[in-house]
Amino acid sequence: MKRREFIKKSSAGGLLAGGVTTGLISAAPAVHAGTKIKWKMVTTWPKNFPGLGTGANNLARLITEMSGGRLRVKVYGAKELVPAFEVFDAVSRGAAQMGHGAAYYWKGKAPAGQFFAAVPFGMNAQEMNAWLYYGGGEKLWRDLYQRFNVIPAAAGNTGVQMGGWFNREINSVADLKGLKMRIPGLGAEVLKRAGGTPVSLPGGEIYTSLQSGAIDATEWVGPYNDLAFGLYKAAKYYYYPGWHEPGSVLEALVNKKAYEELPKDLQSIVMNACKIVNTDMLAEYTARNNAALHTLISKHKVKLRPFPDDVLKKLAQLSDEVVKEVAAKDKHAQKTYRSFMAFREQVMAWHKVSEQAFLRAREL
Ligand code: CA
């Protein structure tokens, strides 16, 4: 309605201004009245899951709003259209035009995908974005999914996660021996090599497993999501930092054919909406984690503990091995590993004299 009113008003103005302007304006409705396109977005998250699922909702809403409703995106939670781990296939074959998840879920198809999600002791959110947008990372990511007819884009970041909830203290590497911990991805392999027993559990089973003693520890995301899950009721100690997920990137997937069929302006809206959500989610996590951490400590009296340095050093050394083995899986993984590690080394040198130096200076 509003647009129609606007066009009407403009036309009136155009008539006053003369024939040339009127000609331009009479062409405008044809552009605006272009076919309405409907897309489905399947996600690996339960519908409306705080932070991750709501990030997917934001992405769909932004695309719909920014396109003035010309491209409407409807979000489906895990299992609504396809199960979580079939999101990639659904987008690849065009059953859904978009997806939202994380690249480490598809490591069976594309091992190099793990470099675009979470690398233990890898890069934080700011560094990942720098690598993706200005360090060649995004190009490698797109190349990786090309044969699946899928275009990836960063669409969210959790920031540095927490080390997890433990029912026993970790004072030395020896305390990791026999530790049954829910931890996914490359971090799981690292824990295994440190003598622990990684357990794979979906989010919904974490709380009861920790409370019953079926597991000794779990990681999840950070204070915001962990507080909502009530994990503080099932474990005594909350360890930091999340060495295994220093800046997990959430991923938007777009079916290549559906994307190429869009006019240029809608293509730009889709990609820029991903960029907005990528930034917005990190801001949301930073704000909500900081509030939730305060609640966990002041209200629920959670015992916050840093991992001892020698434990972190050992885990870092094992992570090096594990990540190198991912790189050896295929040519693309090798190429991605080299790009990732070269960027990481340089950005570490830069951040040593910028972010890191500033954070230290602020504490003095
Ligand atoms: Ca996690």
Instruction: Read off the pLDDT of residues 37-73 as tens digits, 9 standing for 90 and up.
Output: 999 999 999 899 999 999 999 999 999 999 999 999 9
Q: How far is the CA of 219 from the centre of ligand 1 (A)?
A: 6
Distance between CA atoms of residues 128 and 351, nearest Å: 13
Q: Provide Rg for the chain, Cα atoms.
A: 23
Lowest mean pLDDT among 5-9, 55-59, 155-159, 304-308: 5-9
Is pLDDT of 8 > 50?
no
Mean pLDDT of 239-249: 98
Is 83 among the domain residues?
yes
Name the residue range of residue 152's domain: 36-158+247-286
Is 85 among the domain residues?
yes
Distance between CA atoms of residues 75 and 37, nearest Å: 14
pLDDT over 70 for what percent of the chain? 91
pLDDT number for residue 22:
39
Q: How far is the CA of 184 from the centre of ligand 1 (A)?
A: 7
Q: How far is the CA of 264 from the centre of ligand 1 (A)?
A: 36
Three-state SS at 41: strand
Q: How far is the CA of 40 from the centre of ligand 1 (A)?
A: 26
Is pLDDT of 19 > 60?
no
Q: How far is the CA of 243 from the centre of ligand 1 (A)?
A: 10
Q: How far is the CA of 69 from the centre of ligand 1 (A)?
A: 35
pLDDT number for residue 204:
78
pLDDT number for residue 1:
43
Axis-axis angle for helices 185-193, 309-327 (nearest 10): 120
Q: How far is the CA of 163 from the centre of ligand 1 (A)?
A: 9
pLDDT number for residue 68:
97
Is 61 among the domain residues?
yes
Is 177 among the domain residues?
no
pLDDT number for residue 218:
98
Mean pLDDT of 9-36: 44
Q: How far is the CA of 221 from the centre of ligand 1 (A)?
A: 4
pLDDT over 90 for what percent of the chain? 86
The CATH number of residue 63's host domain is 3.40.190.170
Is pLDDT of 20 > 80?
no
DSSP string covering 99-168: EEE-GGGGTTT-GGGGGGT--TT---HHHHHHHHHHSSHHHHHHHHHGGGTEEEEEEEE--S---EEESS
- 80-128 confidence digits (pLDDT tens): 999 998 999 999 999 999 999 999 999 899 999 999 999 999 999 999 9
Is pLDDT of 2 > 60?
no
Q: How far is the CA of 158 from the centre of ligand 1 (A)?
A: 9
Q: How far is the CA of 200 from the centre of ligand 1 (A)?
A: 12
Q: How far is the CA of 207 from the centre of ligand 1 (A)?
A: 14
Q: How far is the CA of 268 from the centre of ligand 1 (A)?
A: 31
Q: How far is the CA of 38 from the centre of ligand 1 (A)?
A: 33
Is 240 among the domain residues?
no
Is 151 among the domain residues?
yes
Q: How far is the CA of 118 from the centre of ligand 1 (A)?
A: 9
User: Confidence class of residue 232 from pLDDT cuts 50, 70 and 90?
Assistant: very high
Tally of domains in the chain: 1
Q: How far is the CA of 80 from the centre of ligand 1 (A)?
A: 23
Is 48 among the domain residues?
yes
- 178-230 confidence digits (pLDDT tens): 999 999 889 999 999 999 999 988 777 899 999 999 999 999 999 999 999 99
- 306-348 confidence digits (pLDDT tens): 999 999 999 999 999 999 999 999 999 999 999 999 999 999 9
Q: How far is the CA of 149 from the centre of ligand 1 (A)?
A: 28
